[in-house]
A and B are shown apart, each in its own frame.
Chain A
Amino acid sequence: MRLERREHLSPLRAVTTPLIAVAVALAIAGGLIALAGAPVLQAYGRIVTEAFGSRLAATETLTRAVPLMLTGLAAAVAFRARLWNIGAEGQLYLGATASVTVSALLIPDAPPMIQIPLLLLAGAMAGMVFLLLPLWLRLRFQVDEVVTTLLLNFVAVLFVSMLIDTVLKDPLAFGWPQSVPVADNGMLPKLISRSRLHIGLIIAVALAVAVWFVQSRTVFGLQSRAAGLNPGGAVFAGVPLGRTLIVVAMISGGLAGLAGAVEVMGVKGYVTTDLSPGYGYSGIVVAMLAGLNPLGVIAAALFTAMMYVGADGMSRAMGIPTYIADVTVALSLLSMLVALFFTQYKVRR
């Protein structure tokens, strides 16, 4: 048997590949559901109804998709340029904390028109800074950023935990470890009344389109792709490698920081150390399912959100462990990896 690289990736295959991968992941997850003694087909149906069966469910799923879109974009942008930013989780926490800090301690009375953009900016800046550190270590000391960004996730959460215990401590929280809340003027307006869905959804979709435009139409997009595909060739063609990576890191870290800011300004209102159920890591799955395409991230984030909301509800209803959602999402990543392989190669006898 021999592997042969395919010449073209047809658009049809680009769309069907993630669907097949997801189907495989769901099939395996079905086995695990059966292991728990629950009826599999019913469970599948329940996932869909729990995620989209009612107006409330649908808005919940969309709300969940917002941070996933942003962390998914963060991963997609970075991975395209072969910058392995696995630190979106930490960047998200710092972004959330930065926006709370600015809102509660600095400009609580600023009107929404001024406050909201400033808070979003603060969140993005925090994420940027936190990714620039491992990038500096890579450029200066050739340290693999995968390990450093992973390790920094723990540092970030501990740092946030420390702030919540001290300067950001909410005196009215009866000793619960949570931060002071975002000022009312800093909260994102709701998109649909009587739901948790906020305008963060529009922000995330707009950013996905913007990132797509930058990547496919601008000089910077061309250069960052070159830097990712073949650094030696990019340098020879005059692409400033370090500067390109720095800009990529600022976009990626900024998006992850924004995910935290949007989550805290749109949904939670304050920071805790369980603000994110692993959005940073799920963003990697979203990005891979999307084939690193920024527009694909929108769909992949919706699917992942559906799995979290739907499988969560399903598992509660059917009395199986809620971790089934995480297992299914992880399996989607693995099966997507295998599927990607078969889009690039065909097996010949």
Chain B
Amino acid sequence: MNEIMDILGSAGLWAAVLRIATPLIFGTLGALLCERAGVLNLGIEGIMTFGAMAGWLAVYQGADLWTGLLVAAICGGIFGALHAVLTVTLGLSQHVSGLGVTLFAASFSYYLFRLMVPVAGTPPTIMPFAPVDIPVLSDLPFLGQALFNQTAPTWLAIGLSAVLAWGLFRTPLGLAIRMTGENPQAADAQGLNPTALRYGAVIAGSALMAMGGAFLTLSAFNSFFPTMVQGRGWICIALVVFASWRPGRALLGALLFAFFDAFQLRLQTVLTGDIPYQIFLMIPYILSIIALAVMARRARVPQALMKPYRRGERT
């Protein structure tokens, strides 16, 4: 019991929560944007992997960190466009297309990585994002270390969830995207172009996913290795359902989730030997499944999710 209080009282835990949450926030916002327009994007796992690789590789080749993040976003957008061609233009099964994109993006990123970076004893590293020093706040006792000792992309992710919430619910474009995800025929009848809106949402959402991946190599770690995304993409897909397709709740969900993850990591070190470490590692996946089971029936799914839209004719 005391050990648990110690963990909860440690600034390191809370700093880790934000760090662990960041890629999940990016990924969940990205998946949420796609799904609000009516497209399930299971390419997320591969797109995050590619983003992690592309961002890292750009920086390794001499680009600065922000350029690396941008390169990752652009690559993500390209894979998003691929998914959009398959699911929006051709109207193929979003499940299978997404898995195809994941398999391709992941294997392609490993291939490119190996091509550019020959095998070495120790993996090559870059200098990752440094924590941002916020005047006054960072110097606060406990809080400073716990919350205000993060790298810039973390603040970007939190800011983006506010931007996305505002964009989706307070602008004409957001309303148009939501209408496309609810009823593309209606959007079409109002003179909107559902195809273009879906392309835009999937491309932008995929760019966000790739940025989440890039956070792993540019901030959380400093090197790239295969399988480093470790199912985070699938967890994001579950978090979107948990968040009922709302950006604010996506942020909360990611933080809640990261809290459990950070907590179990620390609990592992305390309870070492008593419980196999694999049990702790299973927790995130099992939590995601439980979250899905609890929320799936309650959530208001976008009505046109996974339904391709084809007008009788196209110009």
- B92 with A159: CB separation less than 8 A: no
**CB neighbors of B among A121-147 (8 A):** 137, 141-144, 146-147
Contact present for B296 and A151 (CB under 8 Å): no
CB–CB B108/A327 < 8 A: yes
The contact string, 1 if C-beta is below 8 Å from chain B, for chain A 145-178, is 0111011111100110110011000000000000
- Known contacts A142-B296, A146-B42; is A327 also within 8 Å of B281 by CB? no
* B136 contacts chain A at the CB level, 8 A cutoff: no
Nearest-CB distance from A100 to chain B (Å)?
A: 17
Q: Interface residues of A: mostly helix, strand, loop or mixed?
A: helix
A148 to B293, CA, bound (A): 10
Chain A residues near B285: list those with CB within 8 A. Answer: 151-152, 154-155
Inter-subunit contact B115/A158 (CB<8 Å): no
Contact between A35 and B115 (Cβ–Cβ < 8 Å)? yes
Question: Judging by beta carbons under 8 Å apart, are A155 and B115 in contact?
Answer: no
A330 touches B115 (CB 8 A): no
Could you say which of A35, A147, A320, A337 contacts B97, with CB atoms under 8 Å apart? Answer: A337
Question: Is A258 part of the binding interface, using a Cβ–Cβ cutoff of 8 Å?
Answer: no
Q: Are the C-beta atoms of A151 and B288 separated by less than 8 Å?
A: yes
Query: Could you tell me the distance in whole angstroms from the C-beta of B192 to the nearest C-beta in chain A?
Result: 21
Tell me if B276 and A151 are in contact (CB < 8 A).
no
Interface SS majority for chain B = helix
Chain A min CB distance to B226 (Å): 8
Q: Are A323 and B237 in contact (CB under 8 A)?
A: no
Nearest CB on A from B275, distance (A): 10
CA distance A324 to B109 in the complex (A): 11
B86 with A334: CB separation less than 8 A: yes
Choose the segment among B144-152, B201-209, B227-235 that binds chain A (4+ C-beta atoms closer than 8 Å): B227-235
Per the bound structure, the CA–CA distance linking A86 and B95 in Å amounts to 10
**B111, A340: Cβ atoms closer than 8 Å:** no
Q: How many A-B residue pairs have CB under 8 A?
A: 130
Closest to A29 in B: B111
Q: Does A338 contact B (CB under 8 A)?
A: yes
Cβ of A288 within 8 Å of any chain B Cβ, yes or no, is: yes
Question: Is the Cβ of A143 less than 8 Å from the Cβ of B97?
Answer: no
Contacts of B230 in A (CB 8 A): 154
| B86 adjacent to A158 (CB under 8 Å) | no
Contact A321 B297 (CB under 8 A): no
Cα–Cα distance between A71 and B37 once the two chains are bound (Å) = 33
For residue A303, CB closer than 8 A to chain B, the reply is no
B276 partner residues in chain A, CB cutoff 8 A: 162, 165-166
Across the interface, do A331 and B110 meet the contact criterion of CB distance under 8 Å?
Answer: no
Taking A154-B282, A338-B92 as known contacts, 18 extra A-B pairs with beta carbons closer than 8 A to each other, sorted by chain A number, are A1-B314, A141-B296, A146-B95, A147-B292, A154-B231, A155-B285, A158-B278, A158-B282, A159-B278, A166-B276, A324-B111, A333-B99, A333-B100, A334-B97, A334-B104, A337-B86, A337-B93, A337-B100
